[in-house]
């Protein structure tokens, strides 16, 4: 029977308590972002149903599936806009947006599921696509419809139609997904000149350099290899496109971390140092962690799995992973960020034999949301990037039922070219499964069946790994963009955790970068071989070529190995959960990565060559300290008004509007939330969880990031990130004997070339950052158990090139003895205030230095950047403070970071809605600017009730501690420098300044 396409439209009823909130939101957003006041915006949701069900039949059940009869009007096979009862006036403009065919349409998928509940006979090919129509009335003059349409859609993934008054209404038609152009496996001739090898790599988006191409060329010249290929019916002396693509994915910077593994010749022009470094990763990250592993029994699994695992107690282990999704988020902020968050959730699900994600952290770096300067072609305005990324992470996290417990948003002009989207997830698993196996150990055997579970493979997501290893240009391909499908993933997650507990899984990993080629390829190392049949892989559209199926990064897929005897139980579980699970491969012990497509062998690569064949890069590094004009603040300054200006700075201002839209307490475990205090709007320093219901045993999650210190020294930047993460955790009363870290580097391209003439300097920044990372991690005893690097964060070329500031996000998770014994940053009545740590004259690259140089009140940001000369001493005072917190005598603590003591105390007053009087005149050499605004590391402001003072002082004896002042009930913050009143600011003014600048809701609630 042939398919019929039926159109259904719904629109909210208006009046008598009913309103069109979706339309109202668009109206408010246009007002907030563009200052455009539109009379009214209404919305229509459209469904195009292709099935064997007639329009009459659909119409008879339309209120059972598509429309909610209480709040919506529906129409079948007609346009709402033509109904004069609903739309009595002809609108000024109409904009209709639908997805391009092949782009994930989540509402359409859900609608199809609902449709099949009512119409089981809809037909196996039934499909639903959706669209959204916005109807504008009262559009001010000068607003063009094409501009309006551009604000509402993304041309990479969506199609748009629009009309003006008097024109025919736009009509989106059902467009079936076109079959892809199948091409039989091609043979790629590598017996060509070096230039042609490079061209092959560039034109094929392979992102392989000449030496790598030559290594592949040499492989196919090996007579033994040639003989084995002949036996399989493969071209003897040349790769198939399947093989070349597979190598490009596996050897990509994204998968192999070639820069961190490189041999580096490093010169320091300051000190005269001239050294060779064999792999930054092995030297500064792996070695220290492995040495620390010798000293403790709680590091269960480091580096080799999808995330690092620690023993939390005798029954449970915890794991954590942070990922970046920068390039996709630049092209499609919403889809890119959503695939980022649901992707890192899969890393957790793919750890050991499967861990359950229990918390997310999100850290974003964007251009300033109020940016008024020029924007390069094809880049979105930072406010749109912010909205899109936020929405993607919100939907991805909330719909998956994983709380977002901690994070940050950092702003700098240079992130306009490439936003950074760091998504982290913590997972939890039983130490042992019911069958006695340790859950952090994978144990597949040759003969196990390999299933692909979850979504299907489509044209979307081809070349993500290699694409992210290239810089972003105007020609960047749209196939690298995808939209996540949290519900498909959630069903898969439910099913896999049941399969794990039933003992059905021997090995599991996620399908991320590189698709099946990476996931099965990596797992095949355990048994030393695999055989994949691409003909079995379920596809979203027909006609995909072999190499496309192998490397496609289509989302929501896990690769799971199952013993043959467990197959019936595994398939039954998949069936119950309505999850597609397909047997696509077998583990072998042949030493080969063998790929067939039906009857034909299309690739055969030795496992060893695939994983260890990539040649080591040799790179040059040279450090010359950057020259920055000095930070020279005006002699006379009104620090009260500076405080209000500082509180409104995007880097400091409250992100409440954004963060409150994340579910931060699903699972009912979040004991310290992102917002604290009397009005629940003060800043939380770290997340604190009690993951086992009924128990007070806790887990701390925190982050540290300070990219602008790289303008002076990337080493100091790295040290500051680690210290900030630890400091934040200390503020919750973390158990410092069990903390673990994640290093997540985002760098501009550090390889010197024609397009990167300053590559040596950028690499030297990386060397310095790694050295400081190692030094501080050793001193604090924070093993780095998992990490990630993203090394091509540049946009454009030549003079217009924008490179991000070298950025290290340091994420930390650690043990907590009892979540009741913790602190929050809000001041409580009757507390005395103390400073742990000391203020030094360190104003270089501080937030105040940027503010005053941007406004012309200072020449620049140069000066001493905060450093950690003696981290061992900091650790001792952190230990004393956590002891005090764990004994319940301290209930208030807040770390000093951007904006120094002045901003920290202001935030504490905001959280407590009370005043304070403090004196910043204390020990140390720093001047007033340094003591007020300097960002010296290792400092925490603490509030202690009268009755606990003595015990607190005894606990802190011998550590750097300065009495600062008292909490007052005056409603005013007073900051003194000896006898001089430097700052006087009402709490209400501080609240307005701090909460106003990033609110962007359009003012309506």
Give the footprint of other proteins on residues 608-647 (CB under 8 A): none
165 binds other proteins (CB under 8 A): no
Q: How far apart are CB 996 and other proteins at their closest, in Å?
A: 17
**The residue count for the chain:** 1005
In angstroms, the Cα distances linking 397 to 343, 425, 646, 901 are: 11, 10, 31, 34
Query: By CB under 8 A, what part of segment 325-364 binds other proteins?
Result: none
- Selected binder of other proteins within 6, 9, 28, 424 (CB under 8 A): 28
Helix residue ranges per DSSP H, 220-332: 223-232, 241-250, 253-256, 280, 287-295, 326-331
Q: Are 226 and 220 in contact (CB under 8 A)?
A: yes
Helix residue ranges per DSSP H, 434-555: 464-468, 486-501, 515-527, 546-551
The residue behind tokens 């000449």 is 210
- Selected binder of other proteins within 218, 227, 576, 981 (CB under 8 A): 576
- Cα 705 from Cα 468, distance rounded (Å): 22
Query: By CB under 8 A, what part of segment 383-412 binds other proteins?
Result: 394, 398-401
Please identify, among the stretches 159-167, 791-799, 814-822, 834-842, the one whose residues bind other proteins according to the rule CB under 8 A: 814-822
Query: By CB under 8 A, what part of segment 116-145 binds other proteins?
Result: 117-118
Nearer to other proteins (CB atom), residue 188 or residue 341: 341
- Cα 315 from Cα 121, distance rounded (Å): 48
Please identify, among the stretches 143-151, 237-245, 573-581, 596-604, the one whose residues bind other proteins according to the rule CB under 8 A: 573-581
Q: How many helices (H) and strands (E) does the chain have?
A: 31, 39
Cα 296 to chain centroid, rounded = 30
The residue behind tokens 């005269």 is 272
Q: Are 440 and 500 in contact (CB under 8 A)?
A: no
- Selected binder of other proteins within 48, 122, 549, 671 (CB under 8 A): 671
H/E stretch holding 160 reads strand 158-164
Please identify, among the stretches 606-614, 636-644, 755-763, 885-893, the one whose residues bind other proteins according to the rule CB under 8 A: 885-893
Query: By CB under 8 A, what part of segment 432-491 binds other proteins?
Result: 486-487, 490-491
Q: Are 699 and 813 in contact (CB under 8 A)?
A: yes
820 binds other proteins (CB under 8 A): yes
Q: Are 954 and 890 in contact (CB under 8 A)?
A: no
Q: How far apart are CB 719 and other proteins at their closest, in Å?
A: 30
Size of the site for other proteins (CB under 8 A): 77
DSSP string, 675-718: EETTTT-EEPSSEEE--STT---EEEEEEE--GGGGGT-HHHHH
826 binds other proteins (CB under 8 A): yes
Record the tokens describing residue 377, joined without a space. 């072609």
696 binds other proteins (CB under 8 A): yes
- Cα 129 from Cα 3, distance rounded (Å): 14
- Selected binder of other proteins within 3, 5, 25, 222 (CB under 8 A): 25
1003 binds other proteins (CB under 8 A): no
Please identify, among the stretches 59-67, 151-159, 171-179, 416-424, the one whose residues bind other proteins according to the rule CB under 8 A: 59-67
Nearer to other proteins (CB atom), residue 341 or residue 584: 341
Nearer to other proteins (CB atom), residue 573 or residue 791: 573
Query: By CB under 8 A, what part of segment 962-1001 binds other proteins?
Result: 1001
Please identify, among the stretches 22-30, 157-165, 602-610, 924-932, the one whose residues bind other proteins according to the rule CB under 8 A: 22-30
Q: Are 331 and 355 in contact (CB under 8 A)?
A: no
Q: How far apart are CB 677 and other proteins at their closest, in Å?
A: 8
- Cα 84 from Cα 869, distance rounded (Å): 74
Q: How far apart are CB 228 and other proteins at their closest, in Å?
A: 48
Task: Identify the bridge partners of residue 740 per DSSP, sorted by sequence position.
Answer: 813
Nearer to other proteins (CB atom), residue 63 or residue 268: 63
Nearer to other proteins (CB atom), residue 449 or residue 490: 490
Q: Are 726 and 878 in contact (CB under 8 A)?
A: yes
70 binds other proteins (CB under 8 A): yes
> Based on C-alpha coordinates, what's the Rg of the chain?
29
- Selected binder of other proteins within 4, 5, 110, 928 (CB under 8 A): 110
Nearer to other proteins (CB atom), residue 238 or residue 492: 492
Nearer to other proteins (CB atom), residue 649 or residue 664: 664
Nearer to other proteins (CB atom), residue 281 or residue 675: 675
Q: How far apart are CB 733 and other proteins at their closest, in Å?
A: 10
- Cα 47 from Cα 132, distance rounded (Å): 9
59 binds other proteins (CB under 8 A): no
Grouping H, G, I as helix, E, B as strand and the rest as coil, residue 813 is strand
- Selected binder of other proteins within 888, 913, 921, 999 (CB under 8 A): 888
- Selected binder of other proteins within 228, 237, 378, 661 (CB under 8 A): 661
In angstroms, the Cα distances linking 888 to 780, 821, 826 are: 24, 5, 16
418 binds other proteins (CB under 8 A): no
Query: By CB under 8 A, what part of segment 274-293 binds other proteins?
Result: none
- Selected binder of other proteins within 113, 189, 313, 925 (CB under 8 A): 113
The residue behind tokens 């006036």 is 89
Query: Which long-range contacts (C-beta less than 8 Å, at least 24 apart) are formed by 342-345?
Result: 342/396, 342/400, 342/484, 342/485, 342/486, 342/489, 342/555, 342/556, 343/423, 343/484, 343/510, 343/512, 343/555, 344/423, 344/424, 344/425, 345/396, 345/400, 345/402, 345/425, 345/489, 345/493
- Cα 983 from Cα 932, distance rounded (Å): 10
- Selected binder of other proteins within 54, 56, 69, 183 (CB under 8 A): 69
Nearer to other proteins (CB atom), residue 515 or residue 674: 674
Nearer to other proteins (CB atom), residue 742 or residue 914: 914
Nearer to other proteins (CB atom), residue 60 or residue 117: 117
- Selected binder of other proteins within 469, 669, 702, 710 (CB under 8 A): 669
- Cα 978 from Cα 919, distance rounded (Å): 6
651 binds other proteins (CB under 8 A): no
């Amino acid at each position: 029977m042939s398919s019929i396409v039926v159109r259904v439209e719904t629109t909210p009823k208006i009046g008598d308590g009913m309103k069109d909130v979706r339309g109202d939101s668009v109206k408010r957003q246009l007002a907030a972002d563009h200052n455009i006041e539109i009379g009214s915006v209404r919305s229509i949701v459209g469904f195009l149903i292709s099935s064997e069900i007639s329009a009459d039949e659909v119409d008879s059940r339309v209120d059972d599936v598509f429309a909610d009869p209480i709040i919506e009007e529906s129409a079948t096979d007609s346009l709402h806009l033509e109904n004069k009862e609903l739309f009595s006036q002809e609108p000024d403009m109409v904009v209709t947006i639908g997805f391009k065919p092949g782009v994930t349409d989540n509402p359409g998928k859900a609608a199809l599921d609902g449709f099949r509940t009512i119409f089981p006979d809809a037909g196996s090919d039934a499909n639903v696509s959706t669209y959204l129509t916005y109807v504008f009335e009262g559009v001010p003059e000068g607003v063009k419809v094409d501009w309006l349409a551009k604000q509402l859609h993304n041309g990479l993934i969506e199609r748009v139609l629009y009309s003006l008054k008097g024109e025919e209404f736009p009509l989106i038609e059902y467009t079936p997904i076109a079959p892809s152009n199948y091409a039989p496996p091609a043979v790629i001739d590598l017996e060509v000149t070096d230039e042609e090898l490079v061209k092959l790599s560039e034109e094929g988006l392979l992102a392989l350099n000449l030496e790598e191409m030559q290594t592949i060329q040499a492989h196919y010249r090996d007579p033994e290899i040639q003989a084995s290929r002949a036996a399989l019916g493969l071209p003897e002396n040349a790769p198939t496109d399947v093989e070349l693509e597979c190598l490009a994915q596996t050897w990509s910077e994204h998968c192999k971390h070639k820069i961190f593994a490189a041999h580096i010749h490093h010169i320091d022009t300051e000190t005269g140092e001239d050294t060779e470094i064999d792999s930054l990763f092995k030297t500064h990250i792996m070695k220290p962690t492995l040495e620390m592993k010798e000293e403790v029994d709680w590091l269960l699994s480091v580096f080799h799995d999808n995330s690092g695992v620690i023993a939390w107690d005798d029954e449970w282990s915890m794991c954590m992973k942070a990922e970046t999704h920068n390039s996709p988020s630049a092209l499609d902020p919403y889809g890119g960020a959503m695939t980022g968050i649901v992707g890192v959730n899969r890393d957790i699900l793919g750890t050991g034999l499967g861990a359950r994600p229990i918390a997310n952290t999100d850290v974003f770096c964007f251009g300033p949301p109020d940016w008024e300067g020029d924007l390069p072609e094809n880049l979105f305005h930072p406010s749109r990037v912010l909205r899109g990324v936020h929405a993607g992470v919100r939907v991805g996290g909330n719909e998956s039922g994983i709380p977002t417990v901690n994070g940050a948003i950092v702003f700098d002009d240079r992130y306009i070219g490439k936003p950074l989207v760091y998504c982290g997830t913590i997972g939890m698993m039983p130490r042992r499964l019911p069958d006695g196996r340790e859950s952090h150990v994978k144990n597949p055997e040759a003969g196990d069946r390999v299933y692909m579970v979850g979504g299907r493979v489509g044209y979307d997501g081809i070349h993500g790994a290699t694409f992210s290893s290239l810089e972003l240009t105007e020609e960047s391909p749209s196939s690298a963009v995808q939209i996540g499908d949290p519900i498909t993933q959630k069903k898969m997650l439910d099913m896999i955790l049941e399969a794990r507990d039933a003992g059905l899984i021997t090995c599991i990993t996620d399908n991320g970068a590189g698709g099946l080629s990476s996931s099965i390829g990596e797992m095949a190392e355990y048994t030393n071989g695999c055989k994949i049949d691409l003909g079995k892989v379920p596809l979203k559209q027909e006609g995909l070529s072999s190499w496309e199926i192998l490397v496609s990064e289509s989302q929501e897929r896990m690769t799971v190995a199952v013993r043959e005897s467990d197959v019936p139980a595994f398939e039954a579980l998949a069936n119950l959960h309505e999850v597609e699970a397909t047997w696509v491969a077998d583990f072998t012990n042949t030493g080969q990565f063998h790929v067939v497509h039906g009857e034909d062998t299309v690739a055969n690569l030795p496992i060893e060559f695939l994983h260890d064949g990539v040649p080591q890069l040799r790179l040059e590094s040279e450090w010359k300290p950057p020259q920055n004009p000095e930070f020279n603040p005006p002699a006379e300054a009104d620090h009260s008004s500076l405080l209000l200006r500082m509180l409104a700075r995007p880097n400091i201002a409250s992100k409440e509007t954004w963060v409150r839209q994340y579910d931060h307490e699903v699972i009912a475990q979040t004991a310290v939330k992102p917002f604290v205090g009397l009005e629940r709007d003060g800043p939380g320093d770290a997340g604190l969880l009690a993951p086992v219901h009924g128990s007070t045993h806790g887990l701390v999650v925190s982050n540290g990031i300070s990219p602008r210190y790289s303008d002076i020294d990337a080493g100091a930047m790295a040290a500051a990130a680690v210290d900030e993460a630890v400091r934040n955790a200390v503020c919750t009363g973390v158990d410092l004997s069990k903390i673990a870290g994640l290093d997540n580097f985002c760098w501009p391209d550090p390889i010197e070339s024609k397009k990167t003439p300053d590559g040596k300097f950028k690499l030297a920044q990386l060397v310095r950052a790694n050295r400081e990372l190692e030094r501080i991690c050793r001193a604090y005893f924070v093993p780095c158990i998992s990490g990630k690097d993203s090394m091509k964060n540049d946009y454009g070329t030549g003079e217009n090139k924008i490179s991000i500031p070298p950025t290290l996000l340091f994420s930390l998770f650690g043990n907590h003895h009892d979540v009741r014994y913790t602190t929050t940053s809000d001041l409580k009545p009757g507390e005395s205030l103390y400073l742990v740590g000391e203020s030094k004259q360190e104003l270089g690259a501080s937030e105040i230095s940027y503010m005053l140089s941007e406004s012309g009140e200072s020449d620049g940001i140069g000066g001493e950047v905060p450093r950690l000369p003696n981290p061992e001493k900091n650790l001792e005072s952190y230990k004393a403070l956590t002891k005090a917190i764990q004994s319940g005598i301290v209930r208030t603590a807040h770390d000093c970071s951007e904006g120094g003591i002045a901003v920290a105390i202001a935030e504490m007053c905001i959280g407590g809605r009370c005043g304070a009087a403090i004196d910043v005149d204390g020990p140390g050499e720093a001047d007033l600017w340094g003591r007020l605004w300097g960002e010296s590391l290792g400092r925490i402001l603490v509030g202690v009730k009268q009755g606990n003072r003595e015990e607190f002082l005894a606990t802190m004896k011998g550590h750097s501690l300065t009495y600062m002042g008292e909490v007052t009930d005056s409603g005013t913050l007073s900051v003194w420098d000896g006898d001089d009143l430097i700052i006087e600011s009402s709490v209400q003014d501080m609240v307005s300044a701090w909460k106003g600048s990033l609110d962007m809701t359009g003012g309506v609630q």
